[in-house]
Amino acid sequence: MFTNFFYILREKKVPVSITEWMTLMEALSRGYISNLEEFYYLARAILVKSEGHYDHYDAAFQQYFKGIETPAEISEQILEWLKDSTNRKTLTEEERAMFDKMDLDELIREFEKRLAEQTEQHDGGNRWIGRGGTSPFGHSGYHPAGIRVGGESGGRHAIQIAQERRFQNYRSDLTLDVRQIKMALRALRQLNRIGPEDELDLEETIDATCKNAGELEFVWRQSRKNAVKVLLLMDVGGSMTPFAWLCSRLFSAAHSSSHFKDFKYLYFHNCIYDGLYLDVARKEAVSTDLLLRVLESDYKVILVGDARMATEELTQRYGAINYYEQNDTPGLIWLKRIADHFDHCIWLNPEAPSYWSHPTVLMIGKLFPMYELTMDGLREGIKKLVVKK
């Protein structure tokens, strides 16, 4: 029963095991459910063990029970494409007028239709979504907030619930396993005696017992725990694209290293200004100012980037490469604030040191100790992060 659903879930990278699937089958055979909505909740409770996978589950559910192919990756690419306003030009006058007339529901329906058709015919893909992809779609059409049926909690159809895709923001996937970098990062630790006194101090115990004329006298101490908190800031896009694979390795190594007390990561493009981004696509931003206020100065900061840009991007007001960034503080000042706020910062540069004579690289190199993003450079850099200033 529903065996295909199992494989769709696995395909969507929901880690469902046979054990869990058998549990679901057992529950079904006992007749606990009477409609699809109950099935939706029952299967989710049994099969999905993290809110990070709720969205994948919704996508799989939608696909299996509706029969429409909507791979999340493609949808995201489409959203990207939609954001680019120049694409609107590909519409004819007539088409534009047609879309402007449609109300929201119609837009959604039209968008879904096109989406379905697009996956069916490979070549015409861009054209179809192009016609469907005026910005109203991107923002209110496909996005879950647009489809959301507000307030109504009872009696909704299960597919509709799945369609809302409310758990998209909880997704956390994509990791590569890179042991070498992980081993290097392991050096990044600072063992402090914290927490309750629960470790037997054998030496002291023997001493105390002897002094106590052989009567046992226990001495306890706190155990050692790693107190290192890491903030990773990565340059993405543009001139960094050739190094993307290298950065993603560093990222996955740091991300899967479980020994840090805290690990945060943010993205920027070329230089840091008022905001840093939470995702590679640089859609969601967080203010740099806020970051400096919220994060304690004992975070170890690793900046990754080629530090190569036009000089005015670094030194001029409104110099940011993205004209809409409109930074009234030059990037160099922002970088200095970061260097001043945090006690330990390093800059990892994927380019070889022989290319570091570029003026912006030199300027940034004065603010942050710069190392090459190689195993040796990483080791050196981590040594720098550990020592006291």
Partner 1 sequence: MNNNFDQFQGSPDYVISESLQNAVNVSMALGKPLLIRGEPGTGKTRLAHSIARGLEKKLFVWNIKSTTKAQEGLYVYDTVQRLNDSRFGDRDVSDIRQYIKLGKLGQAFTALDQVVLLIDEIDKADIEFPNDLLNELDEMIFYINEIDETVSAIHRPIAVITSNAEKELPDAFLRRCIFHYIEFPDAALMEEIVRVHLPDIKDNLLGEALTTFYKLREVDGFRKKPSTSELIDWLQALIAGGIPVDRVSNEIPFIGTLLKKETDYDYFLTRTGRKLPGKRGDTYGTLH
Could you list the residues that contact partner 1 (CB under 8 A)? Answer: 15, 17, 19-20, 23, 26-27, 30-32, 34, 38, 41-42, 44-46, 48-51, 54, 151, 153-154, 166, 195-196, 198, 258, 286-287, 289-290, 292-294, 329, 337
User: Least Å distance between CB 294 and partner 1?
Assistant: 6
User: Least Å distance between CB 336 and partner 1?
Assistant: 10
Residue whose CB is less far from partner 1, 42 or 176: 42
User: Least Å distance between CB 181 and partner 1?
Assistant: 19
* Cα-trace Rg, the chain: 27
Residue whose CB is less far from partner 1, 102 or 333: 333
How many other CB atoms sit within 10 Å of the CB of residue 103? 7
Residue whose CB is less far from partner 1, 46 or 147: 46
Task: Say if residue 137 is exposed, middle or buried (CB neighbours under 10 Å; 0-12, 13-18, 19+).
Answer: buried
User: Least Å distance between CB 15 and partner 1?
Assistant: 7
Residue whose CB is less far from partner 1, 275 or 377: 275
Structure token digits, residue 299:
């975070």
Residue 132 DSSP symbol: H
Residue whose CB is less far from partner 1, 48 or 364: 48
- Residue 249, CA atoms < 13 Å, CB-side half-sphere: 15
Residue whose CB is less far from partner 1, 19 or 85: 19
Backbone angles phi, psi at 286, to 5 degrees: -130, 140
User: Least Å distance between CB 99 and partner 1?
Assistant: 31
Residue whose CB is less far from partner 1, 32 or 355: 32
User: Least Å distance between CB 126 and partner 1?
Assistant: 36
Distances (CA, A) of 157 to 38, 62, 67, 150, 353: 10, 12, 16, 14, 60
**Cα–Cα dist 371/382, whole Å:** 10
Structure token digits, residue 176:
């590569």
User: Least Å distance between CB 216 and partner 1?
Assistant: 9
The DSSP annotation for 162-201 comes to HHH-TTGGG--------HHHHHHHHT---EEEEEEEEEE-
